[in-house]
Homo-oligomer: A and B are copies of this chain.
Amino acid sequence: MNDVAREVGVSAKTVSRVVNDDAHVSPATAARINDAIERLGFRRNESARLLRQGTASTIGLLLEDVSDPFYGALTRAVEESVLAHDHQLLVSSSAEDAHRADRLIAAFVSRGVGGLILAPATGLDEKLLADERAKNCPVVAFDRPLEELDVDTVLADNRGGTIAGVRHLIERGHRRIAFFGDADSVYTARERRAGYRDALADAGIPFDPELVLMLQPDERAGTEALGMLAASADPPTAVFAGNNRWSVQLLRALVRHPIGLAYVGFDDFELADVVQPGVTVVTQDPAAMGRVAADLLFRRIDGDDGPAQRVQLSTALIERGSGERLGPFVG
């Protein structure tokens, strides 16, 4: 920057003003400075800027697992927004490990991120996060809310979406519907299970805890559970998969060991439209979730200090056939 200043014959501060689009520079000098910047190939040293300002044009994104398609799509959407704001994105996967999540947040902050977008891992240390936010580092939660900290939050309509999906099965005559959800510790799993109970209650169908399985999605566990359900005294005629991973694993189990079951899943997945029958799903929109989260964050970065917002994104039922019928899946 000093080189540019010397070249043009002005002070470094003036160059700084031009680089930062400060209005108080005469067009003529600004032009000469821009010219010199071009000629010398000058690029602002972000680290020095960061040190001075205390906050970098970098956003930290903390999610469960980048390789999960839900988070992949979300990451891409956040990235587009971040790029549009001339920022960069630090990405880390918590792998559902609260301690690791704490470490990663600390690492983000020690690098001076200007804001944090995160899917709160269960057991996350919210005090740590509260400290950061106090240091003027805005925080946006997505997919799950924080429990104590009141921050901007983007959630899918987990309960409503599940109600719609389960109702779809009920309307087709099913009264024994199994529910496969993620571990009980996961917010979305609990919400969706609640939606499942609501839908049953609305229809006057008794709730049977035997039909509810809250487990890590896994083909073997799914196969075993389906086998036990099928062999029970009053077996289910339909299944609701509480997430993307369960949808895929149950599909796999149902294809390998066909049992006549109708089937609806929460969250869409690739090839859900291609298997036979197509899998009816309740879709959420991960890209929209990422976009909204980024928008909320940049609003804070731009100085908005209004009350924390809570955005709920609607879901949609896509009927593809798997909820319509009784009979073995052929995959």
Contact = CB atoms under 8 A, between A and B. Distances in A.
A262 to B, nearest CB: 18
A70 to B, nearest CB: 10
Nearest to A45: B110
Interface string A132-174: 0000000000000000000000000000000000000000000
Number of identical monomers bound together in the oligomeric complex: 2
Interface in A265-297: 269-271, 273-276
A109 B42 CA distance: 12
Interface stretch (A89-97, A228-236, A305-313): A89-97
Contact of A111 (B69, B88, B276): B88
Interface of A: 43-48, 50-51, 56, 58, 65-69, 72-73, 75-76, 79, 83, 88-93, 104, 106-112, 248, 251-252, 255, 269-271, 273-276, 330-331
Chain A at the B interface: SS class = mixed
A88 B83 contact: no
A275 to B, nearest CB: 6
A86 to B, nearest CB: 8
A322 to B, nearest CB: 13
Given A79-B91, A92-B83, A271-B248, A46 B106 contact: no
A42 to B, nearest CB: 10
Contacts of A66: 66, 72, 75-76, 79, 91
Given A44-B110, A56-B111, A252-B273, 5 more contacts: A69-B270, A79-B91, A269-B271, A276-B331, A330-B330
Contacts of A331: 274-276
Contacts of A44: 110
A47 B271 contact: no
A90 B107 CA distance: 13
Nearest to A55: B47
A252 to B, nearest CB: 6
A44 B110 CA distance: 7
A112 B48 CA distance: 10
